[in-house]
Chain A
Amino acid sequence: MKKILVLLLLAVVGFYVAETFFDIGFGNSHFVKNEAIKPVKDIYLQQTVQELKVSNTVTSIVVNFRGFDTLGEVTVLFLSVTALGSILYKKRHHVGERSVLFSASSIVTSGSKLLFPAIVLLGAYVFIHGHLSPGGGFQGGVIIATGFLLMLLAYENYSVSHNGLSIVESLAGITFAGVGLLGFMNGGTFLQNFLPTGVLNDLFSGGVIPIIYIAVGFKVAAELTGVIYTVLNEKGEQNG
């Protein structure tokens, strides 16, 4: 009975969602019927090249046009890490027991020791070149977190300093907010660019955008590593 009700409900939801999106069509540029109205995409694409000198338009939108949004989003991630820690809180003497998924052989441990610096380097490359190529702070941070995940899985007694993580996270957050506030001194708005923009497709271009994205990269890496470390420290009854 309940299943039939749910299927009916889903059919109604699916019908209206499908109808809405099928009207727009796949891959059509005729979103707007009136030709005089230009889509906001054109303005973003134009300003990205001419004013900000950033190659990757997604980066310029995430960091500059919607930079305040990104600040809030990074705060949400921070809150989720905090909530995770407080939900999984345990008495002191239980802390330190790790939920070991498997005991790794020596091939796995030496292989991860070799791979770990390469993964961290890849992550750093991705977020330093965030304004030139696909990638950025979020992607680079996640790649670095997967490197730490590999080490945590391979070594049973590998541990990450919680204080170090929170220091890195706080410094990155302060850098983001501080660079944003510095925009008040010269330009007048939050996250206004105050550095020389340089030449398009140069590593040192884009003004404050690379600085902010590097800060986001450090912050995301610290937060996601914290999430993994907290969950891995949870040790329940082994019955599986």
Chain B
Amino acid sequence: MIAFILILVLLVLMIAASIYAVRQKDLLYAVIATGIISLILSILFYLLQAPDVALTEAAIGVALTTIIFVITIRNTERMEVEKDNNNNTKPAAK
């Protein structure tokens, strides 16, 4: 029963984190959301009896992928800029 509720909560959190990552204009927050997706995914792998995959996902998805994204954002730009059809730049809505 407890594991059932836990899995359901994790699934809902995963969907929420993925939608947040897609909709967020601040790319740094979006990258952290993908890290959270990976973390939830590794817990789910553990609950689905795949400890090997859970170890890999925890190390790669949470640590390495996130840090590579963060370095890239540091080197480029942080905000996703919205543009309309007239090619006028308007700042992203906070």
List the interface of chain A (C-beta within 8 A of B). Answer: 56, 58-59, 99, 101, 126, 134-136, 138-139, 142-143, 145-146, 149, 153, 224, 227-228, 231-232, 234-240
A-B CB proximity, top 8 nearest: A236-B75, A134-B51, A142-B59, A240-B78, A139-B55, A58-B52, A146-B63, A134-B52
Number of interface residues, chain B, beta carbon within 8 A: 20
Q: B74 and A142: CB pair below 8 A?
A: no
The 22 listed contacts between A and B (C-beta, < 8 Å) are A101-B70, A126-B55, A134-B51, A135-B52, A136-B52, A138-B56, A139-B52, A142-B60, A142-B64, A146-B64, A149-B63, A153-B67, A227-B64, A227-B68, A228-B67, A231-B68, A232-B71, A234-B71, A236-B75, A240-B73, A240-B76, A240-B77
Q: A99 and B52: CB pair below 8 A?
A: no
Q: B77 and A99: CB pair below 8 A?
A: no
A152 nearest CB neighbor, chain B only: B67
Which residues of the partner chain A approach B63 to less than 8 Å between Cβ atoms?
A: 146, 149
List the interface of chain B (C-beta within 8 A of A). Answer: 51-52, 54-56, 59-60, 63-64, 67-68, 70-78
Q: A149 and B67: CB pair below 8 A?
A: yes
B interface secondary structure, majority: helix
Bound-state Cα–Cα, A239 to B59, Å: 30
Bound-state Cα–Cα, A99 to B70, Å: 11
Q: A228 and B68: CB pair below 8 A?
A: yes
